[in-house]
Structure 1
Amino acid sequence: MITFRRVARGLKNLYRREVLRDGPLLEAKRWFRDKGDTTLRLDYPLDEDSIVVDLGGYIGQWALDIHERYGSTVHVFEPVPSLHATCVERFSGKPKLHAHRYGLSDKDGTFAITDDGDASSFVSLEKSDSHINCELRSAPAALDALGLDHIDLLKLNIEGGEFAVLPALIEAGWLPRIRFLQIQFHTVGDYDAMRDAIRAKLAETHDEQWCYRFVWEGWERKPG
């Protein structure tokens, strides 16, 4: 169903992109032109022994695509109850797909998130009529509790939560154990400075593969 809110958001984005020449929106246009969702986000040297972690699983489509292409084990973290339930239903009969009903951050806690479907966000509560509370767990502790000693591919799309998760993983020494990262940085808070600081740390252990600024970017662990 097309809602007034979605139409208004689309018109606002069109104005920002074509009139104001908004950088992230221009990058998004380039991303879709290059068909990044069906190429860059799925093309990895994975197999049935690979471990994939999906932070911000939404309805589980990307996790399903990765699993069906490579047979990999995928751990999906989706704290929104309705979205988690959708993942559980879609993953039924697929024992290598695991849906966890909590999000990852730098510490345990809860956060409020707007209940707006594909526009859900925990950074714009004042713009929503409804919100729900969701569980967060410390990323390093949660990964250790699952018995993971490495990750072949880590995907993050968590509405600004990457600015807490990635520094926590860096501090805990997790980065060298992650081969590939696929990150969507969001324009929240002091986003330019925070992204630059994280990218500088990433560059110590990983090489940038491709980058569509504030859309998606990919990193691969340095050889050796």
Structure 2
Amino acid sequence: MAEREIDRRSFEWPLTTESLVVEVGGFKGRWASEIARRYQCRVQLFEPQRWAADLAGEAFRGSGARWEVHHYGLSTAEDAGEREMGAWGTDGCSLLKGAEYMETYEGSRDKLGIGRFRDALPVLAELGEIDLLMMNIEGYEYRLLPYLIDGGAFDHIRYLAVQFHAAFEGDGHDHGNGEGEQAAPQGYVFPKVTGAANMGQA
């Protein structure tokens, strides 16, 4: 499916003005602010790069929707706190790219920044029933998704959309079969209620 078609369909959901939408890894707010404008729904955005979260707040202004931008990311309990993130200042910034990764694979430490993270389970539980959760967290989905599943978070989430990323060397996780095969197609999103049916694939 063409990238433009995937992008278009990422905005098409059965939402109303009473819906609650959560974006984990909202960056500058392009997706979430468009959702807010289209559906006039409630939106909660989580982004650990403060500069990007500030821009996301600007993107929401004038939308007429009820929104809130949080200057922190969501993580497992183990990863909560202040953490080094590599590729700081870009849309590829990741909790999995620490100092060692940047030195070894990127050849530089100059794009390291400090992001704040909170345990996702209590944060999401406090929000209550969530109609749509969008996740775009640069590889960390392979760690956060199992944590949310084990913690029962998806009992209160109607639709789930995930931007999967190719595994990158040095993140300490096995995402494939050991022969270069990815655990999930890179760049697809799907509605949770229908299982893992592909909505689109890059």
| Matching residue within 3, 6, 11 for 1:42 | 11
* 1:115 equivalenced with 2:88 (yes/no): yes
2:2 aligns with: 31
| Matching residue within 101, 104, 107 for 2:74 | 104
Shift of 1:132: 0.7
Identity %: 33
Unaligned runs of 5+ in 1: 1-29, 200-212
Shift of 1:192: 2.5
Superposition TM-score, scaled by structure 2 size: 0.77
Shift of 1:186: 1.9
| Matching residue within 174, 192, 213 for 2:153 | 174
* 1:158 equivalenced with 2:137 (yes/no): yes
Shift of 1:89: 2.4
Greater Cα radius of gyration, structure 1 or 2: 1
The count of aligned residue pairs is 174
| CA gap 1:176/1:221 in 2 versus in 1, 3 angstroms | farther
AA aligned to 1:42 is F
8 Å CA contact retained: 2:42, 2:67: yes
Residue by residue over 1:156-206, the C-alpha shift from the partner in whole angstroms, topping out at 9 and shown as x without a partner, is 00011212221221122111211111101222331226x85xx8xxxxxxx
Shift of 1:53: 0.5
Shift of 1:96: 0.9
Superposition TM-score, scaled by structure 1 size: 0.70
Determine the C-alpha separation between the residues in 1 that align with 2:20 and 2:153: 14
Unaligned runs of 5+ in 2: 168-172, 196-202
2:120 aligns with: 139
Match runs of 1:203-222 below 5 Å = 213-221=185-193
| CA gap 1:219/1:83 in 2 versus in 1, 3 angstroms | same
Determine the C-alpha separation between the residues in 2 that align with 1:119 and 1:170: 25
Query: 4+ residue stretches of structure 1 with deviation over 4 A?
Result: none
Determine the C-alpha separation between the residues in 1 that align with 2:46 and 2:74: 7
Which one scores higher on RCO, CA 8 angstroms, separation ≥ 6? Answer: 2
2:21 aligns with: 52
Shift of 1:106: 0.9
AA aligned to 1:117 is T
> Please, what is the CA RMSD of the aligned residues?
2.2
Determine the C-alpha separation between the residues in 2 that align with 1:88 and 1:116: 17
8 Å CA contact retained: 1:178, 1:221: no
SS at match of 2:176: helix
Determine the C-alpha separation between the residues in 1 that align with 2:55 and 2:136: 17
AA aligned to 1:215 is G
